[in-house]
Amino acid sequence: MRKISTSRLKPGMVAEKAIVTKRGQIIAPAGATLTSQLIARLSFYKIDTVMIQDDSIPEDNQEDLVVNAPEVSEALTTKESPSKEESFVDKTQSYSHRLKSTPQYQEFQRNYSKNIVSLKDTFAAINNGESTDKCNELLDEAAKLFSSKTSLELFDMIHTMRSMDDSTYAHSLNVALISRAIGKWLHLSKEDLNTLTLAGLLHDIGKTQIPDEILNKQGKLTDEEFDLIKSHAKKGHSILKNTDFDTRIKLAALQHHERYDGTGYPRGLEGDEIDTFASIVAIADVYDAMTAARSYRAPKCAFQVIACFEQEGFQKYNPNVIYTFLHRVAGCYNNSRVLLSNGVTGRVVFLNKSALSKPIVETGDGQMIDLSLPANKELYIKAIV
């Protein structure tokens, strides 16, 4: 068994131990054969070295590849002492900085920006009554963004992109990608995944009919202004209704603010009256909005959003979709390093299935904190760091 620098890894080498990120996310199991794509992912997550099986190292350069450094514990078992001086902002910015410095992120950013331009052009073309053929190219571009990404990579990149572009177009692209992830978790066919992705891309097209000064208003909206913004659902459906788009795409534009308990708009639909694709887009829409920064609040982390859904989401959203979504999102961040509301850092070591926002966290000194216990009811995960 040899420790090899990631920069010197070769396809065909075999991992002796499971490869994990500094946040504890398993990238590859023990015994995995390295590929060019897997090695690139290791660089993406700033994994410096990997333990490699001796017999998989080329004989002609075994000594050159070996890293002469003291043995360190695997990330999953390392106990990190939290620094009280390290602020919440420093922690989140350091992770964001690491992410932005990777070539994988930079490629994602280029393709993301290209998608935004294409989406603007597509919205304009549809509003002008032009052919919807442009959507095929748009769908291909969005699918490329989604491909070759784990759920964790995708969600991390989407969250970072929100700090760069908070427009209706960026939100629509994020909703499309999140909706596609949900669709995969629900085992939809490729054809349905493509339809669902387009539904996410076009769900807010009605906002193109709302004045920017109202959409982007920083202060509190008047009742009249709020009613105007709410009208985007009907306006979007009106724009799409005479096109040749799949009916589910049109219904997503109309129904993505409807709620399972009848409290949504514009029609106050209940339960199965709401199209399934619209119910998926609704969850993706809320998740993306809540993880975005606002003038009146900081962005919420995944566990805070899960807590909000747990408080009211089981009544307001399609049960099959919301349960699948929450379990899979929480699973993405199992073993992640987190910051608690009391300033203590630790690692998520166990998810409580009945309270996904309240996992068990192991702190740097080995203490186990079960956030689901009544004694810890005021304690929560503030950020994923």
Average pLDDT over residues 94-116: 74
Q: Is residue 207 part of a domain?
A: yes
Average pLDDT over residues 297-320: 88
Rounded to the nearest integer, the mean pLDDT of the chain is: 83
Q: pLDDT value at position 43?
A: 67
Same domain, 54 and 93: no
How crowded is the C-beta side of 113, counted as CA atoms within 13 Å?
Answer: 6
Greater confidence, 57 or 234?
234
Q: Of the candidates 269, 299, 329, which is a domain's last residue?
A: 299
- C-alpha to C-alpha distance for 80 and 347, rounded to whole angstroms: 9
Q: Is residue 290 part of a domain?
A: yes
pLDDT tier, 304 (very low <50, low <70, confident <90, very high otherwise): very high
Q: pLDDT value at position 72?
A: 31
Same domain, 238 and 104: yes
Q: Of the candidates 13, 42, 58, which is a domain's last residue?
A: 58
pLDDT of 317 > 60? The answer is yes
User: pLDDT tens-digit profile of 249-292?
Assistant: 999 999 999 999 999 999 999 999 999 999 999 999 999 999 88
Same domain, 94 and 220: yes
**SS (HEC) of the chain:** CEEEEHHHCCCCCEECCCEECCCCCEEECCCCECCHHHHHHHHHCCCCEEEECHHHCCHHHHHHHECCCCCCCCCCCCCCCCCCCCCHHHHHHHHHHHHHCCHHHHHHHHHHHHHHHHHHHHHHHHHCCCCCCHHHHHHHHHHHHHCCCCHHHHHHHHHHHCCCCCCHHHHHHHHHHHHHHHHHHCCCCHHHHHHHHHHHHHCCHHHHHCCHHHHCCCCCCCHHHHHHHHCHHHHHHHHHCCCCCCHHHHHHHHHCCCCCECCCCCCCCEHHHCCHHHHHHHHHHHHHHHCCCECCECCCCHHHHHHHHHHHHHHHCCHHHHHHHHHHHHHHCCCCEEEECCCCEEEEEECCCCCCCCCEEEECCCCEEECCCHHHCCCCEEEEC
Average pLDDT over residues 134-161: 80
Q: Of the candidates 252, 272, 299, which is a domain's last residue?
A: 299
Same domain, 54 and 104: no
Q: pLDDT value at position 64?
A: 47
The number of distinct structural domains making up the chain is 3
User: pLDDT tens-digit profile of 33-49?
Assistant: 887 767 777 766 678 88
pLDDT of 80 > 50? The answer is no
Same domain, 117 and 186: yes
Q: Is residue 312 part of a domain?
A: no
The CATH number covering residue 18 comes to 3.90.105.10
Q: pLDDT value at position 77?
A: 32
Same domain, 141 and 234: yes
Q: Is residue 137 part of a domain?
A: yes
pLDDT of 85 > 60? The answer is no
Q: Is residue 63 part of a domain?
A: no
Same domain, 54 and 109: no
Same domain, 281 and 186: yes
Same domain, 358 and 290: no
Average pLDDT over residues 127-148: 83
Query: Are the beta carbons of 324 and 185 closer than 8 angstroms?
Result: yes
To which residue do tokens 């000194």 refer?
Answer: 365
pLDDT of 329 > 50? The answer is yes
Q: Is residue 305 part of a domain?
A: no
User: pLDDT tens-digit profile of 359-376?
Assistant: 999 998 889 999 999 999
Same domain, 143 and 254: yes
Same domain, 53 and 94: no
Q: Is residue 267 part of a domain?
A: yes
The CATH number covering residue 144 comes to 1.10.3210.10
Average pLDDT over residues 71-81: 33
Q: Is residue 325 part of a domain?
A: no
Same domain, 208 and 261: yes
- Percent of the chain whose pLDDT exceeds 70: 83
Range of the domain at 39: 1-58
